[in-house]
Structure 1
Amino acid sequence: MIHMKTKQVKILKIFFSVFYCLIGAEIFLRIIAPVPILPRRVCAASYGIRGNKPNQTYWQRTPETTVKLKTNSKGIRADREIPYEKPVGVYRIVLLGDSFGMGYEVDYNDMFSTRLEWHLRESYQINAEVINLSTSGHGTAEELIVLQNEGLRYHPDIVLVQWHSTDYQDNIRSDLYGLKDGALYVKNETYLPAVKIRETLEKLFFYVWVEENSQFYTFFREFAAVKAKALLDSLRSTRVRPNTVNQNNNESKEDYSTQLSVALLDKIKAVCSDRKIEFMILDIPRPRGSKEFYSVFPFEPDQLNGRYYLYSPIDDFKKANGQKIFWEKGHGHLTPLGCDIVGKGLAEYVVKNALLK
C-alpha cells in the first residue's frame, strides 16, 4: 500500500512539473517573445491534395494584427456562396495561390483579391468577380491541380496565379510532377502532408481552442513543421532526376526547381489557352527593408518576350515611401496597404492589356 502511494505521488509530481513547465513556457512567450498564431484549417480535397476546410470561422493573432477568417461551403475564403455557373454579364477571375493569395494576416475586405475586384468595379466600371481558390502551403503544382479540378468549373475569363519564392521548393517537396527529357509528367496523384494527423487532433474537443490561443503550441508546431519540411526536402533531393541533375551539384538542383516551376506555369498557360482563357501571373516580391524589394521569378521582365502576362508590384511598392507593405512581426504577409497597392496595380494591368474583353 505504501509503495503504491509513493508511486502515485511520483506520478503526480511528474504531472505537475510538466504542467507548470508548459504554463511557464506559455507565459514567457506571451510576455517576452510572442509568436504569431496563424492556424491553418485544411483537409483532404477530393482530388488528392490539401484544400481549405469548408464552413470554418477562426482567428489569426499576431503582435501586429488580429483577423477573422471564414470559409464558405466550398472552402473558399468568402463572405458568400459562389455558384459554379457564371452570371450573365459578369467577368470572372480565378485566383490560384498560397497564404498570400488567401489573405493571411488581413481582413476579408483588405485582401488583394477583394481590392482587385473593388478597383475593377469602382475605377473601371467592369462587372468583375474574383474567385479565390488559394490555399496556404500550395505551390504551382497544386495550383495546376486546383485549376483542372475546380477552377475551370467557374468558367473564368482570367486565371491569375500568385507566385512566391517558396514555389520553387514547394514544387519539389510535393513530388506531384517531374520532368523527363524536358517534358512535364505526373509523378504522384496525392500530396497530403500531416492531414491525417490534423484530422485526428481536431477530434479532440480542446484542440481547436489550443490551436487558436496557445503561444507554446504554435511555437512547437512551427518548429516541428520546419524540421519536417527539411527532412522531406532532404528525402526528395535524393530521389529526383538522375538524368537531369547531378545530385552533388546544388546549382543543378536549383536549375531543376526552376525548370520544373516554369514547366508547371507553361502547363497552366496551356490549359487556359486551350479554353481561350487569359493567363497572368502576380509576382509577390521579397522585402529587403521597408523601401527595397526584389523578385525571384524565373525570368526578368525583359526576358519574357510575351511568354506571360506578368505584374510585379515592386515599382508601386517603392512609391509607398517606406510605409509598411509587409508585416514584420507575423509571417511576413502583405499589410492592408500592400494588398490595396497590389489590387489596384492588378486592375490597372488587366485593363491596360485588355485581358477582359
Structure 2
Amino acid sequence: MPSALRSLPRTLKLFCMASLASLLIIFGLLKAADIALSAHRNARLARWRAPTNKQGWRADFDYSDPRIQGMRRAAVVGDSFAYGWGVDWNQTFSKRAFDSLNNGASHKWEALNFGAYGVGPMKELETLERILPRYRPDIVIWQFYINDIGGLHDGLQRNKASADISAWKTPPSPIFMYNIKQAFHAFFPSLYLSTATGIRRIYGRLFKDRRTVFNDPDYMYRQWGGLYSPEELPRIEKDWISLEQILIRAAAVSERYNARFLVLFIPAEAEVSDAYREELEKRFLYHIDKNAAESRYAHKRLALFLTQHRIELLDMLDDFRNHADPSALYLHGDFHLTPTGHAIIARRLAAMLARH
C-alpha cells in the first residue's frame, strides 16, 4: 500500500473503500440495465419488423424499373412515419391505402415505399432525385412531421440512408446512460419532463443563457407540437427557409418527371390533444408566456407556404383532432403512430386518390 494511503486515518480509508465499492456496484447495475434494455429494444423491433426487399426498402415485393402496363405507381418518401415504425407492414398507411384502392378498382396501383428511419428532408430529397428517373411514379407522397425542421439550417439533419432495420440493432453501449434516459422517459414521462426542465433552467440561470432551456430542437419540435417561445422564432425561421427551399426543389423535380407532388402532414400529439398540450405546458413550458407564444406554428406556416406555391397538401390535423380518443393514435412512450393512426391516414389518402 502506498505510504500516502497508509498515513490516512482508518475511518477515511474505510469511507473511500466503501465509496469505491458503491460506485462499482452502481456501475454494474447500470450496465446490467443497459444490456437488458438493449435486448428488450431489439426484441421489440423483431416483433414487428418486415424483411426488406432487394433494393433495401421495407416492402413485401421487389421494385422493378419498368412500369407494369396499366398499373399506376406511387412513391412514398419520408422518415420513420412513412416506414411504419412500431407497426407491422400490413398496418402502415401506405400499404393500407393502396390495398384499399386496388380492391375492385379498374385502375390498379403499385406503391413504392421509400420511408427510412432517421432521415430528414435533405436525405429525402436525395432519395427523391435518385428514384424519380428510375421508377417514374405518377405521384410522389412526401410525408412531413414536425421534427423535420430541427437543425435543418445548421446542417444537423439526420443522414441515415438505408431503411434496413438490421442496421439499427443496438448492442450494449459504453455510453449506456442513453438507454437509461430513454427508459426513464418512456415509463415516467411527467417526472422526466420536470427533471429535464429543472436541469436546463438551472443551467440557463447559471450561465445567463436562456437558450439552454431549448437546447434540444428535435425534442422541442417533436413533443411541443408547434408551441414556440418568441425568442426562438428567429432561429426557427432559418430552418423553415431551408425546408421551403427543399420542398420547392422536390416539387420541381417531381414535375420534371411528370409526377404529381403531394405533401402529407402528420401532426404531433401535442397538436392533436389539448390535454397532452396542457400537460406539457404545466410541466415543461411553465416559463413561457402562453399569450405571446406561437401555437401550432409548424402547421400554420407549412399550410400557408404550400398554398402560396400551389403545392398540394393532405392535412391530417383535423382528422386526428376529431378522433374520439387522440391518445389512441400514438404509441405509448413514443411519438410514432399506432395502427389506428395509420388507418386514419390510409382512409383519407385512398379517398383523395380515388377522387382524382
Q: Which TM class, normalised by the smaller chain length?
A: 0.5 to 0.7
* TM norm structure 1: 0.63
- Which residue number in structure 2 is paired with residue 77 of structure 1? 58
- Which residue number in structure 1 is paired with residue 253 of structure 2? 271
C-alpha distance in structure 1 between counterparts of 2:92 and 2:127, whole Å:
20
- Which residue number in structure 1 is paired with residue 80 of structure 2? 99
Pairing 1:192-341 to 2, within 5 Å after superposition = 192=159, 218-219=179-180, 250-288=232-270, 291-292=273-274, 296-297=298-299, 298-300=301-303, 304-305=307-308, 307-322=310-325, 324-341=327-344
- Which residue number in structure 2 is paired with residue 47 of structure 1? none
Query: Which segments of 5 or more consecutive residues in structure 2 lack a partner in the other structure?
Result: 1-16, 185-195, 197-213, 219-230, 278-295
- For residues 187-224 of structure 1, the C-alpha deviation after alignment (integer angstroms, 9 at most, x for no partner) is xxxx85799xxx9x99xxxx76659xxx977446899x
Query: Which segments of 5 or more consecutive residues in structure 1 lack a partner in the other structure?
Result: 1-9, 40-57, 177-190, 235-248
- Which residue number in structure 1 is paired with residue 96 of structure 2? 115
Shift in alpha-carbon separation, 1:319–1:79, aligned structure 2, 3 A = same
Q: Which has the higher strand share?
A: 1
Q: Output the amino acid matched with 1:21.
A: L
Task: Check the 8 A contact 2:93/2:342 in 1, yes or no.
Answer: yes
Q: Output the amino acid matched with 2:342.
A: C
Q: Which has the higher helix share?
A: 2
- Which residue number in structure 1 is paired with residue 114 of structure 2? 133
Task: Check the 8 A contact 2:272/2:320 in 1, yes or no.
Answer: no
C-alpha distance in structure 2 between counterparts of 1:334 and 1:257, whole Å:
25
Structure 1, 166-175 or 262-271: larger mean CA deviation: 166-175
| Alignment pair present for 1:343 and 2:346 | yes
**Aligned partner of 2:30 among 12, 19, 22:** 22
- Which residue number in structure 1 is paired with residue 289 of structure 2? none
- For residues 48-88 of structure 1, the C-alpha deviation after alignment (integer angstroms, 9 at most, x for no partner) is xxxxxxxxxx8527xxxx42232122211012222122211
C-alpha distance in structure 2 between counterparts of 1:108 and 1:221, whole Å:
25
Q: Output the amino acid matched with 2:90.
A: N
Q: Output the amino acid matched with 2:81.
A: F
C-alpha distance in structure 1 between counterparts of 2:237 and 2:94, whole Å:
31
Greater C-alpha Rg? 2
* TM norm structure 2: 0.63
Task: Check the 8 A contact 1:25/1:216 in 2, yes or no.
Answer: no
Shift in alpha-carbon separation, 1:278–1:130, aligned structure 2, 3 A = same
- Structure 1 residue 313: deviation in Å? 1.6
Task: Check the 8 A contact 2:83/2:115 in 1, yes or no.
Answer: yes
What percent identity do the matched residue pairs reach?
A: 23
Shift in alpha-carbon separation, 1:341–1:261, aligned structure 2, 3 A = same
Pairing 1:109-188 to 2, within 5 Å after superposition = 109-122=90-103, 124-174=105-155
C-alpha distance in structure 2 between counterparts of 1:16 and 1:96, whole Å:
47
